[in-house]
Amino acid sequence: MEQTTSALKVSEKDVVVPGEILAEGIEYLPGQGMYREGNNIIASRFGLVRLEGKVLKVLPLSGKYLPRRGDVIIALVEDVNISGWRVNTNSAYTAMLSLKDASGDFIRRGADLTQYFDIGDYIVTKIINVTSQNLVDLTMKGPGLRKLEGGRILKVAPSKVPRIIGKQGSMVSMVKKATGCNIIVGQNGIVWVKGINPEDELLTVETIKKIENESHVSGLTDKIKEFLESKGKVVEIPQLQEGGDHEEVE
Amino acid sequence: MTEEVRRHVINYLKHDLRYDGRKNLDYRPISVEVGLIKTAEGSAKVKMGDTEVIAGVKFEVGKPYPDIPEEGTMMVNAELLPMSNPLFESGPPGIQAIELARVVDRGIRESKAIDTKKLCIKPGEQVWTVVVDLIPLNDDGNLFDAAALAAMIAIKNAKFPKLEGEKIDYKHLTDKGLPIISEPISITVLKIGEHFIVDPLGTEESVLDSRLTVATKDDGTICALQKGGSQPLSLEDVEKMIDIATTKSKELRKYLR
């Protein structure tokens, strides 16, 4: 076998395509969106390269949502079984919400499960486990996890979700404050918006679509602030602090 | 949840607003592309917001029906592809596809849009058959109006292929277009709660009470109606919906080129 030399073939913020060799040798470690084959680390997704120490990462620019443990998502109840609910996660894999994770209440044997969640309901839920076979388990136990009532649903690209949330939820809380609307952003790209009147709700939807379309622009927060101010809203950019709103933190 | 979506949509309509910010009686921006399919004798693509429909016109030579030996025939088919809406299934056409095809067909047929007498080649033996195929590329509501508009534009722009005896030379089209007498426009008016809207989005279509598709001719006379939805309509409702449809049809007529 040849002498192995470790070398990086790409640099930070490069755009890579699946199949592209990112690094050779064992010095670098494959992170998300890539795999190791022999001596090479090869990209499996289309996106931007990020280097964190010796760990490489590909931040996807497009693509479907992939369930990850710990993500808070907004999901659609598709079926009610004897032991729980089957839920659409806006990804290739449906998820199961079992009875024991659904409620803190005692649920009697043979109870009508549709009084908790019915087909067609949207729920805010958290992924507790993703198996190697991509079976997804959900829970409703946690702060902010609940059934959504009223409001409207819109879909955004899952890869743009971090920009919509902003650092420590700064972007979403700015929009919330300016429009007075309630917003929940699921990691799977489903966003729930509920406002007091339709005008503000429409503005919120427009703002979120604007963030999604211009997510690559630098200084986006200021741009969105300007946009909201041009619509006659009072906007303040929230100061970053430790912690933050649990629901929206990336 | 559908109950809640419905309540939410009605709340918007009360403010004369729609889910995409339009007014109740506004159409989405419409764009038309003509002659995009080279293998068809006439074709058109209509885009209404995110809804997209392609219509294609093909000519065939066949035997006339025995009761009308001197008239050509017209046929409309629709296929609702699963790629246009996840609720559509592949396979033989379902109720929705048949209704779409028949509503478009009826609008064109009953307005006598095509002079079928001029489609006769040899009385009782050989006549032209005009086949219109409708294919939605994306369904975000209001397939009826988009499909009817696309079908009419495609028919207007279709050219006869060369005919050599029994055989049709599809590779060479003549300059002759179809003999057109009138140009129908279909407008679908929806009733949700006590509100009337046109050009529904997919979400609005899923919570409708009733709908009425009205086809009008150039001079404003009504030539076809189709009622859908689970709720009944009163006489006043129908009159109001027809009024809306006739005013709106003037707006859409400018896309018939």
**pLDDT tens-digit readout, B15-43:** 999 999 999 999 999 999 999 999 999 99
pTM assigned to the model: 0.84
Look up residue B56 and give its DSSP letter.
E
Residues of A with CB under 8 A from a CB of B: 118, 120-122, 149-152, 197-199, 202, 206
The CATH number of the domain where B191 resides is what? 3.30.230.70
Quick: pLDDT tens for B172-224: 889 899 999 999 999 999 999 999 999 999 999 999 999 999 999 998 899 99
Q: Decide: residue B25, CB within 10 A, 0-12 exposed, 13-18 middle, 19+ buried.
A: middle
Q: How long is chain A?
A: 250
Out of B8, B15, B17, the one facing A150 most closely (by C-beta) is B8
- Domains in chain A, please, with CATH? 7-60 (2.40.50.100), 72-139 (2.40.50.140), 152-230 (3.30.1370.10)
Out of A121, A150, A198, the one facing B17 most closely (by C-beta) is A198
Quick: pLDDT tens for B67-123: 999 999 999 999 999 999 989 999 899 999 999 999 999 999 999 999 999 999 999
Evaluate if residue A244 carries a pLDDT over 60.
no
The Cα-based distances of A231 to A182, A196, B11 in angstroms read 18, 17, 22
Look at chain B and report how many structural domains it folds into: 1
Quick: pLDDT tens for B132-143: 999 999 999 999
Strand spans (E) along B71-158: 73-78, 120-122, 126-138
Mean pLDDT comparison of A80-84, A114-118, B123-127, B237-241, highest-scoring range: B237-241
A25 near A6, Cβ under 8 Å? yes
Grouping H, G, I as helix, E, B as strand and the rest as coil, residue B236 is helix
Quick: pLDDT tens for B52-68: 999 999 999 999 999 99
B15 near A198, Cβ under 8 Å? yes
Residue type, B159: K
In a mutational test of the A interface, the residue from B4, B11, B207 whose CB has the highest number of chain A CBs within 10 Å is B4
Residues of A in contact with B19 (CB under 8 A): 152
In a mutational test of the B interface, the residue from A149, A152, A182 whose CB has the highest number of chain B CBs within 10 Å is A152
Boundaries of domain holding B204: 2-255
| Nearest residue to B7 via CA among A11, A228, A151 | A151
Report pLDDT for A248.
39
Mean pLDDT across the stretch A37-57? Answer: 89
Residue type, A236: E
Task: Return all residues near B67 (Cβ < 8 A) that are at least 6 apart.
Answer: none
Out of B1, B5, B15, the one facing A198 most closely (by C-beta) is B15
A152 near B12, Cβ under 8 Å? no
